[in-house]
Each structure stands twice: as C-alpha cells, then as structure tokens.
Amino acid sequence: MRIGIDLGGTKIEVIALSDQGKELFRHRVSTPRDDYQKTLQAMTDLVLLAEEKTGETGSVGIGIPGSISPYTQRVKNANSTWLNGQPLDKDLATMLKREVRIANDANCLAVSEAVDGAAAGQPVVFAVIIGTGSGAGVTINGQSRIGGNGNAGEWGHNPLPWMDEDELRYREEVPCYCGQKGCIETFVSGTGFAKDYQRLSGTARKGAEIVQLLAQHDPVAELAMSRYELRLAKSLANVVNILDPDIIVLGGGMSNVERLYQTVPQLIKPWVFGKECETPIVQAKHGDSSGVRGAAWLWPLKS
C-alpha cells in the first residue's frame, strides 16, 4: 500500500492506494497555518489514521509547495513560509519511524498524470499547476525530474516572456512573493487572473465569478481571459523551446476553464521557434486528486 499526503496552504489531504492504484482511503483536515510542529503532527496523525482504517502499513510520500534543498536538506521556496528552513523529511521520518519521500506538489501532479492519468505512457511530461500559485513539474519515463538544485520545473518563477508595455507596468505593480518582479506566477495563476480583472474593471472578484461572467458575454471578463490566454501561451512556448515535452498537462483551478484547450494550442504557435507546435495540451485526468495521488506514487512498484 502507498500513502500520499498533499500539504497545502489551507488543507492537508491523505490518500491510501493499493499497488494497482485503487483508492482505499481518503481524508483531509485544515492546515495548522504558521505552526510547524502542529503541521508535523497533523501529517503524522493522517498517516496513522489511513493505516488504522485500511488495516495495512504503507510507504509515505508527501507533496509540498516547495522543495528540499540538496545542499541544506531543508525546505526552500515554499509559499507556506513556516515550512522554509525546516528538515521536514527527517522530522516526519522520526515521528513515523520510517523513511518518507518528499517532492514539490507540481512534481507530484506530473507523476500522477504520467503514471495513470492524462499523460500515461508519454516519455516526457510537463505538468502545470495554475491555481492560487503557478508551478510545474517534469517527469521522464514516469519518474520525477528534480534536478541538482532541486529546481526542475520551477516555471512560475521565470519572467513572463515577450512582455508588452502593459505587462511591463504590471510587473512593477505586483512583485512576486519570491522577491523578483515579472514572474510568470503573477500573471497566469488564478490569483494573477483575478488581479488583472480587477485592474481592468475596478472590481475585485474571484476567478470562478469571472468565469461565470464569461458565460454571460461580459466584455471585461472576456478581455481579462483573452489576455490570460495569450500570457499562458507565451509562457508555455518557452517550455517547448527548452524542453519540447511530449505532452503538457494543466492542473489547478484555472485548468477547469474548458476554452483554454481550444485557444492556447493555437496561440502558442507564433511564439515557438519555427512557429510549429502540435504538443497536446490537456486537462489533468485526476483533477484536484492528482497531487495527493502523485505523492503516493513517489514510491514506485518494486520490480
């Protein structure tokens, strides 16, 4: 049995999977924000609960909104900032009395979709989270590519490419939490989409509300979405120019906007070197479950 945990900023979810990928148990609790020790305890309790409910002992994989530094062996780059600088894997291993594996949550999305999701069987997968933040993960033959610095797939913290005058102004107005300006995350996350609508309309709305306005042919919502689609296309074109993955998978709240799968594949072409691109851009098969499922799959089947 494999146990996966998705550690988010607002909730922690656990899943237990059989070796065949069948869901045996799932549960979620609120994240104890800004409290590292209580976060550790909550994750430990969820693992023990999963084992109690299934009657089995499992391997443990965890997806976090950051990564483990290969140099300090501590969490870095987490937007759940109370995790940064902490030896999370070692502390959990001590509490659970077994080894745990930790990966970036976007890498977990990539693993889940590459193993038995929308990208099953594809050699090189680039999986994107476009939700509250914006990150990405890479898998090669079903295995997560982390990189020597632990930064593989940190797509959201590169600058938005080919900025127009308005985007250059926006980068000065909305700095990224990472300390840089103009990060892709500030433009193509769901948060960035909502902020752009507010700039255009003067009214603050949630992303889901703006999408509802699209269905009502609201002109400001349409403008915000058109700008969003172009920015997403430009950002993904950079990935094609560098990695040229076999498939791109979208997850997170904005991935539920169905028109993206018609508009972005066409918008991406002018920005790709040679202006040719037929890379499939698809929605994550497992939706919100991809992260927690991918965490469980951090322990592959034994051959």
What's the pLDDT tens digit per position in 106-152? 999 998 999 889 999 999 999 999 988 888 999 999 888 888 888 88
45 and 87 housed in the same domain: yes
Position 226 pLDDT exceeds 90 = yes
CB 114 within 8 A of CB 120: yes
Residue 116 in domain:
no
Half-sphere exposure of 223 (CA within 13 A, CB side): 10
Locate the DSSP E strands across 162-298: 247-251, 281-283
- CATH number of the domain enclosing 102: 3.30.420.40
194 and 248 housed in the same domain: yes
149 and 128 housed in the same domain: yes
Q: What is the pLDDT of residues 229-242, one digit of tens each?
A: 999 999 999 999 99
Residue 240 in domain:
yes
pLDDT average, residue stretch 35-56: 97
pLDDT of residue 89: 95
Counted domains in the chain: 2
Dihedral of the alpha carbons of 246, 303, 93, 75, in degrees to the nearest 10: -20
Residue 193 in domain:
yes
Q: What is the largest CA-CA distance in the chain?
A: 59
Rounded to two decimals, what is the model's pTM? Answer: 0.86
Position 303 pLDDT exceeds 70 = no
135 and 280 housed in the same domain: yes
- Among residues 101, 111, 169, which one has the least CA distance to residue 137? 111
Residue 303 in domain:
no
67 and 163 housed in the same domain: no
pLDDT average, residue stretch 152-160: 92
Question: How does strand 124-130 pair with strand 134-140?
Answer: antiparallel
139 and 247 housed in the same domain: yes
Residue 279 in domain:
yes
144 and 260 housed in the same domain: yes
270 and 292 housed in the same domain: no
Q: What is the pLDDT of residues 46-71, one digit of tens each?
A: 999 999 999 999 999 999 988 899 99
Confidence grade of residue 6 (pLDDT, cut at 50, 70, 90):
very high
Residue 26 in domain:
yes
Identity of residue 179: G
200 and 263 housed in the same domain: yes
Mark 179-202 as b/e (b = at least 16 C-beta within 10 Å).
eeebbbbbbbbbbbbbbbbeeebe
Residues in Cβ contact with 130 at an 8 Å cutoff, skipping those fewer than 6 apart = 188, 189, 190, 232, 250, 251, 252, 253, 254, 255
Locate the DSSP E strands across the chain: 2-7, 11-17, 23-30, 59-64, 67-68, 75-76, 100-104, 124-130, 134-140, 143-144, 247-251, 281-283
CA–CA dist 167, 230 (Å, integer): 12
Q: State what percent of residues in the chain have pLDDT above 70.
A: 99
CB 7 within 8 A of CB 284: no
- Among residues 210, 246, 214, 238, which one has the least CA distance to residue 122? 246
CB 117 within 8 A of CB 285: yes
Residue 220 in domain:
yes
Residue with tokens 């894997």: 89
Domain span at residue 48 reads 2-111+288-298
pLDDT of residue 19: 85
Residue with tokens 């969490």: 75
294 and 273 housed in the same domain: no
77 and 174 housed in the same domain: no
- Among residues 37, 45, 91, 96, which one has the least CA distance to residue 68? 91
107 and 174 housed in the same domain: no
